[in-house]
Amino acid sequence: MKGIRLGRLFGIEVAIHPSWFIALALFAFTLANGFFPSAYPGWSAVATWATAVIATLLLFVSVLAHEFGHSLVARSQGIPVRGITLFILGGVAQLEREPDSPGREAWMAIAGPLVSVAIGVATLGAAYALPGPEQVVAVLAYLGVANLALVVFNLLPGFPLDGGRVLRALLWRISHDVVRATRQAAVVGQVFAWGFIALGAAQLVLGGGLGGIWLALVGWLMIQAARATARQTEIDHLLSGVPAARLMTTPESWLSPYMTLDWAAKDRLRDWESRCLPVAAEDPAAEFGGLMCARDLKRAPRDRYDRDRVRDVMTPALRLPTVTPETQAAEVLRLLREGEADRAVVVDAGGRLLGFIDVDTFARFFNAARSRRRGATPPHAPA
Ligand SMILES: [Zn+2]
């Protein structure tokens, strides 16, 4: 999630997503129209609004502190932190990778709520001890209650909430299987998420207004996050220690750049749903000209098959990410996801083409690995 950069704190980039301003307005509005006027009817409109805005800003400072709790512990475990972003539903710390042991995961998960407890207890204590002024006491009391409520919510055992991460760590410790633990924790997370959506919908129907939409939105984002994390954990696990050489497809034959698509479709790429073939270079000094996949054929207009040539629709060598046989498969996947090309070539130290990896290679690899995991023989051997 990208946003407006605010600056760095403890070497960690802090940013604000534009959606955060909606949260700011909504929280300030709720405080200025509900909580403060009913608790302090004597305040002027200006005093009420000013207090509401300050209380909301400080609440988000607490949320930021909570995320710093997670981030600083993660960094102390050697996990790089890309940054913290405040958005409509609170804050999120972007970690480069997941913790590598259940103990570390639990400790990282609990660090955020610990910070919130500390802030909650300190602000409630100060609100109790300070004689005034009334506005300061009101803000402190609000921060105390809000931070403790944040702790209760975050410790619900629904992944990816902090409590859900603790649950995953526990399941991980018991089964020693991080993929299974994540899947189980994600299921619990989705049960909670659907609960939030149902509760939000009920609240909306019963006239609870914006709070219902909020809760439903939290639930919906939790479902997305739970699914994405479960998928990513499985992918990380399957690709861990796998070099590009083990995944790559070695070219069985080469295409000529001048071959018409008609010919390529009939002769070489026929029945090869997800296959690719290297294309010889037009320039004799070059190692190869590009890579042509069955996908490219499908994208090309069929009525031009007799005129268009392979070189017109292939991905030219210059636009292909190049990796070595030793490059980690996870790194290749990252290149394909972040770059423009959906395929990469594997070359040796001399730049000679050894093979290629495209998005379908990964799909086949994952399918085969999942079948093995279930104890079945894979329906198709991985290419
Ligand atoms: Zn947290």
Domain ranges in the chain? 4-239, 244-373
The dihedrals phi and psi of 330, each to the nearest 5 degrees, come to -60, -35
CB 192 within 8 A of CB 220: no
- pLDDT value at residue 374: 65
- pLDDT value at residue 119: 93
Q: Which residues contact 72 (CB under 8 A, 6 or more apart)?
A: 10, 12, 111
Residue 115 has pLDDT above 90, yes or no: yes
Measured distance CA(127)–CA(17) in Å, rounded: 31
pLDDT tens, residue by residue, 57-109: 888 889 889 999 998 998 888 888 888 888 877 778 887 777 788 888 899 98
Q: Which of 13, 67, 273, 326 is catalytic?
A: 67
Mean pLDDT within 181-190? 87
Most confident of 25-39, 157-171, 299-313: 157-171
Stated length of the chain: 383
Using the mean position of ligand 1's atoms as its centre, give its distance from the Cα of residue 70 in Å. Answer: 7
The dihedrals phi and psi of 347, each to the nearest 5 degrees, come to -125, 155
Cis peptide bond N-terminal to 160, omega within 30: yes
Residue 202's pLDDT band (boundaries 50, 70, 90)?
confident
Q: What percent of the chain has pLDDT over 70?
A: 94
Greatest C-alpha distance within the chain: 88
- pLDDT value at residue 181: 86
| Sign of the CA dihedral with 264 first, then 268, 271, and 272 last | negative
Determine the residue type at 181. A
Q: Is 83 left (phi over 0), alpha (psi -120 to 50) or beta?
A: left
Using the mean position of ligand 1's atoms as its centre, give its distance from the Cα of residue 161 in Å. Answer: 7
CB 337 within 8 A of CB 330: no
Q: Is 207 left (phi over 0), alpha (psi -120 to 50) or beta?
A: left
CA nearest neighbour of 181 among 202, 199, 165, 200:
165
Residue 273's pLDDT band (boundaries 50, 70, 90)?
low
pLDDT tens, residue by residue, 283-297: 777 778 888 888 788
pLDDT tens, residue by residue, 224-242: 888 887 787 788 888 878 8
Measured distance CA(280)–CA(289) in Å, rounded: 5
Is position 67 annotated as part of the catalytic site?
yes
Using the mean position of ligand 1's atoms as its centre, give its distance from the Cα of residue 74 in Å. Answer: 12
Using the mean position of ligand 1's atoms as its centre, give its distance from the Cα of residue 208 in Å. Answer: 26
The CATH architecture to which 244-373 belongs is Roll (3.10)
CA nearest neighbour of 168 among 92, 225, 88:
225
Residue 374's CB is within 10 A of a number of other CB atoms, namely 8
Using the mean position of ligand 1's atoms as its centre, give its distance from the Cα of residue 33 in Å. Answer: 28
Order of strands across the sheet that contains 276-279? 276-279, 290-293, 315-316
Measured distance CA(214)–CA(205) in Å, rounded: 14
Stretch (H or E) spanning 263:
helix 261-263
Using the mean position of ligand 1's atoms as its centre, give its distance from the Cα of residue 300 in Å. Answer: 48
Residues 84-107 as b or e (16 or more Cβ within 10 Å = b): bbbbbbbbbbbbeebbeebebbbb
**In Å, how far from its chain's centre is CA 49?**
36
Beta-sheet strands, E only, within the chain: 4-9, 12-16, 81-87, 90-95, 276-279, 290-293, 315-316, 322-323, 343-347, 353-358
Using the mean position of ligand 1's atoms as its centre, give its distance from the Cα of residue 163 in Å. Answer: 9
